[in-house]
Every structure is written in structure tokens, then in C-alpha cells.
């Protein structure tokens, strides 16, 4: 598996992360098969969050992959906190308590990466900084990042932090590519030119923050997948052409499209199907041409001015 640098963490990580949001409902055997499918292909970066399955996804992962010292050194574990049932919470107390719960459920002594899940409008950066310092100094968390944050929110946090933010996990797919299309359509009058995220993709490149792309197969906000969806005939036609040219599946091409971007985007899978996961991971060995990338971009309805 090809690797990339994770921000300024010093870690080399697989170019595709394995998302564990949906594994809570799997049997231990099914979860073990999925996890080992990833490990056999060199994909040892696993993404969690304390709200996934109400903590059940982390528990399922630990049951499926017993975390002895040898195994712990072979995997990279990332989790997220900050979402409560009725609000967001970046208070020092909540962050610290959340990490203790995550570590307990994963049956490990430390996280390689902790992300703050969604922006908390009541966030006090100094309080977050205190929590991060305690977690870093105690050895419970080695690296920190955010999810769904724009550049100014990151800047506000970073001003108080003594540690770098190494990742920003953002929704990004072929059909949800406004952070790309707004740049393509700069200085034009159409809706495509509206910058909805503060140019977060360019910002992360400038700051050496790795963009992790969640829901790489989804259109809308969890509206469904676009692969083989009759709502997207032109896109699936284009995906099929490129897949045939490379001798891979459409699923592989979808991930390869994200990997082709020079920002070194790290897609986060969400499938619980070992075969589809293998297809996603195979994208690390596929490099789309510039023509193929733009063909897919246009086929998804993205305009070239």
C-alpha cells in the first residue's frame, strides 16, 4: 500500500483509511474478516468516532482484533469526539472523558490521532489546548486534528495549541466536490463559484494538514451512493470507461479520482463488504490520467467555465 505523510505528525500512513462507522452491527467474525482484508493489503489506518454505533463500533473493533502489544504497533488508530446527542461539546472535561471512554472501548493505552468531530460554536480554544496538552503529556493521544472545520476555525484553535493539527476530515466525493469546483469556477457568476468552505482545500495544502475525505461514494448528505445509481447515468458511463481501461472496478476508480488530486487526499472508506473494501484499497495502485480525471469531473455535472 502506498503511503503519505499525515500532516506534520511524522507518521507515514496508508493513502486510504478504513472507516469503521458501520461495523457495530457486524458479527465478530464479519468484523474480523473486514479488518484482516485491510491489513493483508497494507491498510492499517482505522478511523473511529465515539458516536459510531454509540461506542459500539469501537467495541466491535476491539473484539474482532485483540490489541496485544505486537498488534498495537502494527495498526494506526484514529477516533473523534465532540458530538453529544443534542449538542457539540469541546469542553476540557468532555474531551478528556471522551478519550478515556474511547481507549477503554478500543482496549488500548493510546490513540495515534484524535479529531474534534464538528465545530462547537461555544468552543474556547484555550480550554481545548489544556485538554490536548494533558492528553499528549500523559501519552493517551499522540497527534491531533479536526473534522468539518473551515480555515478560520482551524486558525482560531491553532493560536492556542502547542501541538500541530495534522488532519481535517471533510465530506468530499466526485458529486460533492464544491471545495474543488469553487476553485475551478473562480471569478465567474454561477453558483459553482460560491466558496462555501473558506478555500479549505488550498488552506490545508498550505498548512501541511492532511484532508481526509469522508463519504467518498455518497451524494448529498447521506442521500445514497452514486455508483450504479440510475440518477447518475453520465457519471457511471464515465466511471465504466475508465474502469475498463485500467482493468479495475468502478469503486476503485472513485477512490483513484480522489487520490489523483495533488493535495494527497486520504479517502476514508465506509463499506462493511470485504470485496468492496479490497476494490477501494486497490486504488492506491491506479493513477488516472489528467483526461480521465476531467472526464469524470464533467460527467458528474461539474462545469468547466
pLDDT, one tens digit per residue, over 87-125 is: 999 999 999 999 999 999 999 999 999 999 999 999 999
- Is residue 99 one of the residues assigned to a domain? yes
Q: What is the mean pLDDT of residues 70-95?
A: 97
Q: Show the domain range for 56.
A: 3-212
Total of domains in the chain: 1
Q: Is the pLDDT of residue 222 over 90?
A: no
- Is residue 57 one of the residues assigned to a domain? yes
- CA dist., res. 81 & res. 117, Å (int): 5
Domain with residue 49: its CATH number is 3.20.20.100
Beta strand 3-5 with 12-14 is antiparallel
Beta strand 210-214 with 266-267 is parallel
DSSP the chain: --EEE-TTSS-EEESSBEE-TTGGGS-HHHHHHHHHHHHHTT--EEE--TTGGGGHHHHHHHHHS---HHHHTT-EEEEEE-EETTEE---HHHHHHHHHHHHHHHT-S-BSEEEE-S--TT--HHHHHHHHHHHHHHTSBS-EEEES--HHHHHHHHTT-SS-EEEEEEE--SSS-HHHHHHHTTT-SSGGG--SSSSHHHHHHHTT-EEEEE-TTB-TTT--B-TT-TT-HHHHHHHHHHHHHHTS-HHHHHHHHHHTSTT--EEB-----HHHHHHHHGGGG----HHHHHHHHHHTT----
Q: Are the CB atoms for 258 and 297 separated by under 8 Å?
A: no
- Read off the pLDDT of residues 117-172 as tens digits, 9 standing for 90 and up: 999 999 999 999 999 999 999 999 999 999 999 999 999 999 999 999 999 999 99
Nearest to 102 by CA among 73, 121, 82: 82
- Is residue 224 one of the residues assigned to a domain? no
Active site residues: 52
Q: Are the CB atoms for 285 and 14 separated by under 8 Å?
A: no
Q: What is the mean pLDDT of residues 77-82?
A: 98
- CA dist., res. 77 & res. 165, Å (int): 16
- Is residue 266 one of the residues assigned to a domain? no
- Is residue 217 one of the residues assigned to a domain? no
Residue 208: its pLDDT value, please? 98
- Is residue 243 one of the residues assigned to a domain? no
Q: Is the pLDDT of residue 223 over 90?
A: no
- Is residue 49 one of the residues assigned to a domain? yes
Nearest to 154 by CA among 187, 112, 202: 202
- Read off the pLDDT of residues 165-208 as tens digits, 9 standing for 90 and up: 999 999 999 999 999 999 999 999 989 999 999 999 999 999 99
Q: Is the pLDDT of residue 267 over 90?
A: yes
Its pTM stands at 0.97
Beta strand 18-19 with 83-84 is unpaired
Nearest to 115 by CA among 7, 219, 32: 7
- Is residue 250 one of the residues assigned to a domain? no
Amino acid at each position: 500500500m502506498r503511503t503519505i505523510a499525515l500532516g506534520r505528525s511524522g507518521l507515514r500512513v496508508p493513502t486510504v483509511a478504513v472507516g469503521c462507522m458501520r461495523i457495530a452491527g457486524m458479527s465478530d467474525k464479519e468484523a474480523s474478516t473486514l479488518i484482516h482484508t485491510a491489513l493483508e493489503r497494507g491498510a492499517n489506518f482505522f478511523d473511529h468516532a465515539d458516536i459510531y454505533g454509540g461506542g459500539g463500533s469501537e467495541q466491535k473493533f476491539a473484539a474482532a482484533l485483540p490489541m496485544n502489544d505486537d498488534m498495537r504497533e502494527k495498526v494506526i488508530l484514529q477516533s473523534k469526539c465532540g458530538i453529544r446527542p443534542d449538542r457539540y461539546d469541546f469542553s476540557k472535561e468532555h474531551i478528556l472523558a471522551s478519550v478515556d471512554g474511547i481507549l477503554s472501548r478500543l482496549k488500548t493505552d493510546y490513540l495515534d490521532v484524535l479529531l474534534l468531530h464538528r465545530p462547537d460554536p461555544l468552543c474556547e480554544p484555550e480550554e481545548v489546548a489544556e485538554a490536548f496538552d494533558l492528553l499528549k503529556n500523559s501519552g493517551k493521544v499522540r497527534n491531533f486534528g479536526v473534522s468539518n472545520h473551515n480555515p478560520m476555525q482551524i486558525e482560531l484553535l491553532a493560536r492556542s495549541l502547542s501541538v500541530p493539527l495534522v488532519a481535517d476530515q471533510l465530506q468530499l466525493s466526485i458529486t460533492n466536490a464544491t471545495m474543488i469546483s469553487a476553485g475551478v469556477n473562480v471569478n465567474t457568476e454561477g453558483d459553482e463559484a460560491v466558496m462555501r468552505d473558506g478555500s479549505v482545500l488550498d488552506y490545508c495544502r498550505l498548512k501541511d494538514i492532511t484532508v481526509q475525505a469522508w463519504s467518498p461514494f455518497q451524494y448529498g448528505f447521506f442521500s445514497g451512493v452514486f455508483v450504479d445509481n440510475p440518477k447518475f447515468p453520465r457519471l457511471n458511463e464515465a466511471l465504466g470507461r475508465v474502469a475498463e481501461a485500467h482493468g479495475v472496478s468502478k469503486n476503485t476508480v472513485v477512490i483513484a479520482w480522489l487520490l489523483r488530486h495533488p493535495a494527497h487526499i486520504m479517502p476514508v472508506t465506509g463499506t462493511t463488504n470485504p470485496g468492496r473494501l479490497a476494490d477501494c484499497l486497490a486504488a492506491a495502485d491506479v493513477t488516472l490520467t489528467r483526461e480521465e480525471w476531467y472526464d469524470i469531473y464533467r460527467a458528474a455535472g461539474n462545469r468547466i467555465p
